[in-house]
């Protein structure tokens, strides 16, 4: 892919300057597979362990949902903490009979019409036997008995409806949610590896597919020329006329064996004026053709494999910016799923493309002169190539 090519050639170009090592080095040379770039800003530290975090702002509290026994809920009045334990969504195993029912993954919670909907995943690493279910509550007290588990919306691999296209070729994990402003129709986005990411319309009660036997799915992202298709963790946001399809690209976890540099998780995006796509990246490459503009990636030799993201919408009337949040590994701490930490950055938009802001100064996100940020790997590569030219 274009931007991957640029990043790869960039890291080769920069090798003498930053003592980085090309990805052909043995994977055990751990310190040499980190990206040491300082062109991508460090995160604001969330001060909480989180893998695939999901955050909503409700009643002046940030509620953080994440995978764990019953789906864990924490809350804080500041994204940098301190976080307090609120409880869990489920008080026992999910009503869905697939995989490990006690430990759902990757929730996405939304609030509408007085009800909170928590879309969650049951799966197992490397398996397509997966399901996306939903639980609801009318209050976020955290007492799990307040939530009602409505069970599965999508099965893949096995289970009801898993023989229907595209459920027979996709992996029902990592749900995200978007409502089409102009029609009021809501959609679930999901998918991981296999055929990457899909979108299906939901019924008006948001608890099932609009038409389970003819799901009217659209394909959102795909890596057509690869055997491994590491795109997952979809998110969709809307701002100023564009829908943004976000996802994580690369290897998420299990870093007992390190992938080549740049093959670990990173956060990519494409946009469309239509909620159903097609989505394309900043270089005009379709997300269905392997496209995706890199918005956040490993940096400073400290932040590794950021992904599992979400976007908290800003508020136009008070000019608060959108916030990108995600998990990352701190290379000085460790590389297990439990080592993943919450990080976040304000976003600003340049020509309608999101740019990650350094620091937690809201003013830096709402003025046009933000400091040391990247706009895109393409732009970054160009800038660096130009400075190298001057340097040489
Ligand atoms: C949030 O926490 C950070 C870091 O602890 C602090 O710098 C910032 O002032 C806090 N923001 C608010 C609005 O309290
Ligand atoms: C399911 O997950 C829970 C929590 O991680 C764990 O204690 C339990 O052993 C798992 N069950 C199976 C059958 O793997
Ligand atoms: C399977 O799904 C269909 C369509 O949603 C539904 O009508 C049917 O009741 C389901 N069957 C079972 C056993 O859950
Ligand atoms: C999935 O379903 C479609 C439509 O029924 C069918 O054409 C296709 O062969 C199926 N694919 C697999 C891998 O089962
Ligand atoms: C819906 O449209 C209005 C008016 O254009 C806009 O202000 C708002 O941000 C949109 N929201 C979403 C979620 O699409
Ligand atoms: C909105 O909530 C009301 C009250 O709970 C309920 O009667 C109505 O069906 C809900 N509407 C939708 C679209 O879910
Ligand atoms: C924006 O913030 C103001 C002040 O906090 C609030 O009154 C308003 O409802 C918010 N608007 C949106 C769209 O969230
Ligand atoms: C990484 O961990 C080190 C040591 O605990 C800490 O000093 C540093 O602030 C952390 N950085 C980030 C971005 O988490
Ligand atoms: C805001 O941006 C300026 C210029 O890049 C930078 O020096 C400053 O540290 C930033 N503020 C914060 C709080 O990060």
Determine the average pLDDT of the residues in 140-154: 89
Kind and range of the H or E element at 234?
Answer: strand 231-239
Residue 9 in this model has a pLDDT that exceeds 50: no
Report yes or no: 19 and 27 within 8 Å, Cβ to Cβ.
no
Question: Strand ranges (DSSP E) for 15-173?
Answer: 44-49, 54-58, 61-66, 72-76, 84-88, 105-112, 115-122, 130-137, 148-156
The pLDDT, as a whole number, for residue 318 is 60
372 Cβ closer than 6 Å to some ligand 3 atom: no
Closest ligand 4 atom to residue 165 Cα is 2
Atom 13 of ligand 2, residue of closest alpha carbon: 100
Report yes or no: 287 and 294 within 8 Å, Cβ to Cβ.
no
The pLDDT, as a whole number, for residue 37 is 95
Kind and range of the H or E element at 348?
Answer: strand 341-350
Domain spans, the chain: 1-21+377-392, 32-374
Q: How far apart are the CA of 322 and the centre of ligand 6, in A?
A: 29
pLDDT digits (tens, 9 = 90+) for 123-136: 999 999 999 999 99
Determine the average pLDDT of the residues in 20-26: 38
Q: How far apart are the CA of 60 and the centre of ligand 7, in A?
A: 11
Half-sphere exposure of 76 (CA within 13 A, CB side): 13
Give me 44's structure tokens.
Answer: 């604001």
My answer on whether omega of the bond before 30 falls inside 30° of 0, hence cis, is no
Confidence of residue 317 (pLDDT cuts 50, 70, 90): low
Distance CA 3, CA 282 (A): 10
Ligand positioned closest to the Cα atom of 362: 9
pLDDT digits (tens, 9 = 90+) for 75-107: 999 999 999 999 999 999 999 999 999 999 999
Contacts of 377 (CB under 8 A, 6+ apart): 3, 6, 7, 10, 293, 294
Please say if 211 is a catalytic residue. no
Distance CA 158, CA 155 (A): 6
Report the chain's mean pLDDT, rounded to a whole number: 87
29 Cβ closer than 6 Å to some ligand 2 atom: no
Ligand positioned closest to the Cα atom of 320: 7
How is 250-312 classified by DSSP, letter by letter? SB-S-TTSPPSTT-B-EEEEEEESSTT---B-TTS-BGGGT--EEEE--BTTTEEEEEEEEEE
Nearest to 58 by CA among 105, 107, 115: 115
pLDDT digits (tens, 9 = 90+) for 323-374: 999 999 999 999 999 999 999 999 999 999 999 999 999 888 876 433 333 3
Q: How far apart are the CA of 212 and the centre of ligand 6, in A?
A: 22
Q: How far apart are the CA of 371 and the centre of ligand 2, in A?
A: 46
Distance CA 258, CA 263 (A): 9
- CATH class of the region 32-374: mainly beta
Atom 2 of ligand 4, residue of closest alpha carbon: 165
pLDDT digits (tens, 9 = 90+) for 35-72: 999 999 999 999 999 999 999 999 999 999 999 999 99
Give me 341's structure tokens.
Answer: 């930490």
The pLDDT, as a whole number, for residue 367 is 61
Q: The pTM is what? A: 0.87
Residue 3 in this model has a pLDDT that exceeds 80: no
Instruction: Return the number of other C-beta atoms located less than 10 Å from residue 136's C-beta.
Output: 18
Residue 17 in this model has a pLDDT that exceeds 70: no
Atom 11 of ligand 6, residue of closest alpha carbon: 113
Please say if 52 is a catalytic residue. yes
Catalytic residue among 35, 196, 232, 264: 232
Q: How far apart are the CA of 38 and the centre of ligand 9, in A?
A: 14
My answer on whether omega of the bond before 278 falls inside 30° of 0, hence cis, is yes
Nearest to 140 by CA among 50, 55, 236, 204: 55
């Amino acid at each position: 892919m274009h931007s991957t090519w640029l990043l790869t050639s960039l890291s080769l170009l920069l090798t003498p300057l930053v003592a980085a090592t090309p990805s052909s080095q043995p994977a055990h040379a751990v310190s040499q597979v980190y990206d040491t770039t300082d062109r991508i800003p460090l995160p604001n530290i969330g001060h909480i362990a989180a893998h695939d975090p999901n955050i909503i702002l409700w009643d002046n509290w940030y509620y953080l949902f994440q995978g764990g026994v019953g789906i864990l809920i924490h809350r804080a009045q500041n994204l940098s903490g301190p976080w307090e334990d609120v409880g869990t969504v489920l008080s026992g195993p999910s009503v869905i009979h697939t995989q490990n029912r006690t430990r759902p993954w990757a929730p996405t919670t939304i609030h509408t019409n007085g009800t909170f909907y928590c879309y969650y995943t049951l799966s197992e690493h490397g398996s397509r036997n997966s399901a996306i279910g939903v639980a609801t509550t009318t209050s976020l007290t955290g007492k799990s008995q307040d939530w009602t588990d409505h069970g599965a919306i999508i099965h893949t691999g096995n289970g009801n409806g898993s023989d229907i296209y595209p459920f027979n070729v996709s992996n029902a994990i990592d749900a995200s949610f978007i409502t089409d402003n102009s029609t009021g129709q809501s959609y679930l986005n999901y998918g991981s590896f296999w055929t990457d990411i899909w979108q299906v319309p939901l019924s008006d009660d948001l608890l099932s597919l609009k038409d389970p036997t003819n799901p009217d799915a659209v394909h959102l992202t795909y890596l057509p020329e690869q055997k491994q298709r590491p795109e997952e963790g979809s998110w969709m946001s809307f701002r100023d006329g564009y829908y943004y399809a976000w996802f994580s690209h690369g290897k998420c976890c299990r870093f007992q064996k390190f992938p080549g540099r740049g093959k670990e998780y990173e956060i990519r995006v494409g946009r469309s004026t239509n909620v159903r796509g097609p989505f394309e990246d900043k270089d005009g490459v379709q997300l269905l053709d392997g496209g995706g503009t890199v918005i956040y990636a490993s940096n400073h030799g400290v932040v590794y494999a950021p992904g599992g993201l979400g976007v908290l919408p800003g508020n136009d009337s008070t000019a608060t910016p959108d916030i990108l949040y995600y998990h990352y590994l701190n290379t000085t701490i460790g590389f297990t799923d439990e080592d993943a930490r919450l990080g976040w950055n304000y976003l600003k938009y340049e020509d309608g493309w999101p740019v990650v802001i350094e620091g937690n100064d809201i003013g830096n996100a709402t003025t046009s002169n933000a400091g040391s940020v990247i706009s895109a790997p393409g732009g970054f590569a160009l800038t660096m190539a130009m400075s190298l030219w001057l340097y040489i």
